[in-house]
């Protein structure tokens, strides 16, 4: 993309100030997580027994937790696990959902069975299906990713199938057929490129849902082991001290809210830009 196209792209994406706000917050959160060892004021695991449950101050901006650990540093490090898990869930569910959606949308014979399975999975609340899968697979960061990827794959499948059904009837696909282009190439080049924008929009929303769901699973004790700092495990272990030190719960939660909100704002902006027909659907 040359610079003019890029400038046009950014100008259209950030036409609404809220979208710009979302993108800036998201960039800040991601950069903080990546640069954690350099920007975190303290070690995320360094305990100071004399400094237990200290309220926010100039020394510890977000206060300290029950072991005297710096809450801000733990949030910055926690972003690595929380956002990393979210990212992995997005990649896995996009790959699986796009494949299944293309197959269901293009091959009539597969449509019925794939979509019935999608219906069955979507008849269960996300968090319930996720906790069941983690229970079966065992609680670990990898299995949380796998479980959440399975939970969100049906959503992607639905969107991709819907778009594929429309695109496959368009003249250029027919033309490719007539010219003898292979089915594989039609699917992976002609159709996939034309359903890419709804997939991209879904990806940002699923990222937000995955961050929220990971926190929920960790909170229930069916997610990431409590010794790994994630925003969810911080709230889970902090809740029993919430009476005396509300900051141990407040700030990790704000990190979740800000991340999920900024992801949804960016997703909303992308949708506005890529699909004008959907604009009124908020």
Partner 1 sequence: MFTAITRRLAGMLVVMFIVATMVFFLTRLAPGDPASLMLGDQATAADIAELRKTYGLDQPLLVQYVLWLKEVATGNLGQSIFLQRPVLQAIGERAEPTFFLALFSILIAALIGIPAGIASAVWRGRHADQTVSGLAMLAASIPSFWLGLLFIQFFAVRLGWFPVAGYGDPGAGLAQRLYHLILPATVLGIVNSALITRFTRASMLDVLSEDYVRTARAKGLPENRIVLRHALGNALVPIVTVVGLTAALLVGGAIITETVFGLPGIGNLVVSAVLRRDYPVIQGALIVIAGIYVMINFAIDVIYTLVDPRVKT
Beta carbon of residue 49, minimum distance to partner 1 (angstroms, whole number): 25
Q: How many angstroms from the chain centroid is the CA of residue 259?
A: 9
Q: CA 213 to CA 200: how far, in whole Å?
A: 20
Q: CA 176 to CA 179: how far, in whole Å?
A: 5
Nearer to partner 1, 56 or 177 (CB): 56
Q: Which of 99, 140, 194, 264 binds partner 1 (CB under 8 A)?
A: 264
Nearest to 231 by CA among 247, 249, 205, 246: 249
Beta carbon of residue 39, minimum distance to partner 1 (angstroms, whole number): 24
**Could you say whether residue 15 binds partner 1 (CB under 8 A)?**
no
**Could you say whether residue 13 binds partner 1 (CB under 8 A)?**
no
Would you say 281 and 201 are in contact if contact means Cβ atoms under 8 Å apart?
Answer: no
Beta carbon of residue 48, minimum distance to partner 1 (angstroms, whole number): 25
Alpha helices by DSSP H, 123-140: 126-137
Contacts of residue 174, Cβ cutoff 8 Å, sequence gap at least 6: none
Q: Which of 7, 11, 12, 116 binds partner 1 (CB under 8 A)?
A: 116
Interface with partner 1 in residues 127-156 (CB under 8 A) = 127-129, 131-138
Would you say 64 and 83 are in contact if contact means Cβ atoms under 8 Å apart?
Answer: no
Q: Which of 20, 146, 220, 274 binds partner 1 (CB under 8 A)?
A: 220
Phi, psi torsion values for 47, nearest 5 degrees? -95, 145
DSSP-assigned states of every residue in 196-264 = HHHHHHHHHHHHHHHHHHHHHHHHHTSSS-TTS--HHHHHHHHGGGTTT-THHHHHHHHHHHHHHHHHH
Beta carbon of residue 219, minimum distance to partner 1 (angstroms, whole number): 5
Nearest to 163 by CA among 195, 115, 202: 195
**Could you say whether residue 192 binds partner 1 (CB under 8 A)?**
no
Nearer to partner 1, 46 or 125 (CB): 125
Contact segment (CB under 8 A) with partner 1 among 48-56, 70-78, 167-175, 244-252 equals 244-252
Interface with partner 1 in residues 70-89 (CB under 8 A) = none
Q: Which of 37, 41, 55, 125 binds partner 1 (CB under 8 A)?
A: 125
Beta carbon of residue 165, minimum distance to partner 1 (angstroms, whole number): 19
Phi, psi torsion values for 265, nearest 5 degrees? -65, -45
**Could you say whether residue 117 binds partner 1 (CB under 8 A)?**
yes
Return residues touching partner 1 (CB under 8 A). Answer: 18, 116-117, 119-121, 123-129, 131-138, 208, 212, 215-216, 219-222, 232, 235, 239, 242-243, 246, 249-250, 253, 256-258, 260-261, 264-265, 268, 280-282
């Amino acid at each position: 993309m040359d610079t003019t196209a890029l400038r046009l792209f950014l100008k259209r994406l950030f036409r609404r100030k809220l979208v710009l706000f979302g993108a800036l917050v998201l960039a800040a959160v991601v950069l903080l997580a990546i640069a954690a060892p350099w920007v975190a004021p303290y070690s995320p695991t360094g305990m100071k027994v004399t400094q237990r449950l200290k309220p926010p101050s100039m020394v510890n901006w977000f206060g300290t937790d029950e072991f005297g650990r710096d809450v801000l540093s733990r949030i910055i490090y926690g972003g690595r696990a929380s956002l990393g898990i979210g990212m992995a869930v997005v990649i896995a569910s996009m790959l699986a959902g796009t494949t299944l959606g293309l197959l269901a949308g293009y091959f009539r014979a597969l449509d019925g069975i794939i979509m019935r399975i999608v219906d069955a999975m979507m008849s269960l609340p996300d968090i319930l299906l996720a906790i069941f899968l983690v229970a079966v697979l065992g609680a670990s960061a990898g299995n949380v990713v796998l479980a959440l990827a399975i939970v969100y794959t049906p959503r992607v499948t639905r969107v991709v199938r819907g778009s594929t059904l429309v695109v496959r009837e368009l003249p250029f696909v027919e033309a490719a057929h007539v010219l003898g282009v292979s089915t594989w190439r039609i699917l992976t080049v002609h159709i996939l490129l034309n359903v890419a924008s709804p997939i991209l929009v879904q990806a940002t929303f699923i990222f937000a849902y995955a961050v929220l769901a990971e926190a929920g699973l960790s909170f229930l004790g069916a997610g990431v082991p409590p010794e790994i700092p994630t925003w969810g495990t911080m709230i889970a272990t902090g809740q029993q001290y919430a009476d005396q030190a509300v900051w141990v719960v407040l700030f990790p939660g704000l990190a979740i809210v800000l991340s999920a909100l900024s992801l949804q704002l960016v997703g909303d902006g992308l949708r506005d830009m890529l699909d004008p027909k959907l604009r009124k659907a908020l």
